[in-house]
Amino acid sequence: MRIDIGNLLKQRGQTLERSVQADVEPLDVGGEQVVFEGPVRLDVRLHNAGGRLWADVKAHGRIRASCARCLKPVERALEFSYSEAFRRPDQDPLDDEGVRESVFEGDEIDLSEGFREQLLLALPMRQLCREDCRGLCPICGADLNEGDCGCRPNDVDPRLAPLAELADLLRRRDGQE
Ligand SMILES: [Zn+2]
Ligand SMILES: [Zn+2]
């Protein structure tokens, strides 16, 4: 993901637009695998601000994962944008902690590292098939988006059984039973 900036460096105030593609390996996000459908496209606008370069990047990709609640496959667009500054090694660093700044040498900048960092920030921690997905019934495993499965709400979830026993014990200790 390198861009030749030889010409851009010649004149202050100049801009350059380029599109580059990034192949992204499947990522583990919060224990779930997120797969990228094809490469992620980066539309990059570079600006020569007198020695320092600014890159405004818009990234577009498609991801595939499983819904964190009902496990159905989810496929959707992933879009995000960010800015990154680039300077030569002999220039003073930018005095702004909110902006990522990388150092470049020669006539090329490399967007890979900044892109990777921003990609991880842009990915939601959990993928959902829809915001109000009702998930699976903890008792019978039915998909609750397809209707009620008929399980009674007071059927104790086996994972909560120890709590129910404790409550029972406390009730008896208090002589309420
Ligand atoms: Zn779902
Ligand atoms: Zn059920």
pLDDT at 24 over 90: yes
Q: Tokens 């998930």 belong to which residue? A: 135
If asked whether residues 60 and 141 sit together in one domain, one would say no
Q: pLDDT per residue over 34-55, tens digit each?
A: 999 999 999 999 999 987 899 9
Question: Distance between CA atoms of 18 and 36, rounded to whole angstroms?
Answer: 22
If asked whether residues 68 and 105 sit together in one domain, one would say yes
In a domain, 12, yes or no: yes
Provide the number of structural domains found in the chain.
Answer: 2
In a domain, 167, yes or no: yes
Q: pLDDT per residue over 77-90, tens digit each?
A: 999 999 999 999 88
In a domain, 22, yes or no: yes
Q: Which residues contact 67 (CB under 8 A, 6 or more apart)?
A: 73, 74, 127, 128, 129, 133
Q: How many CA atoms lie within 13 A of 15 on its CB side?
A: 5
Q: Kindly give the distance from the C-alpha atom of residue 142 to the centroid of ligand 2, in angstroms, as a whole number.
A: 5
Question: Distance between CA atoms of 177 and 170, rounded to whole angstroms?
Answer: 10
If asked whether residues 167 and 118 sit together in one domain, one would say no
Name the residue range of residue 146's domain: 134-177
Question: Distance between CA atoms of 59 and 78, rounded to whole angstroms?
Answer: 8
Q: Kindly give the distance from the C-alpha atom of residue 99 to the centroid of ligand 2, in angstroms, as a whole number.
A: 50
In a domain, 145, yes or no: yes
Question: Distance between CA atoms of 5 and 3, rounded to whole angstroms?
Answer: 6
Question: Quick one: which ligand is closest to 134's CA?
Answer: 1
pTM to 2 decimal places: 0.76
Mean pLDDT of the region 98-108: 90
CB atoms within 10 A of CB 74: 19
In a domain, 128, yes or no: no
Q: Kindly give the distance from the C-alpha atom of residue 147 to the centroid of ligand 2, in angstroms, as a whole number.
A: 10
If asked whether residues 118 and 138 sit together in one domain, one would say no
Q: pLDDT per residue over 50-69, tens digit each?
A: 878 999 999 999 999 999 99
Q: pLDDT per residue over 109-149, tens digit each?
A: 999 999 999 999 999 888 999 999 999 999 999 999 999 99
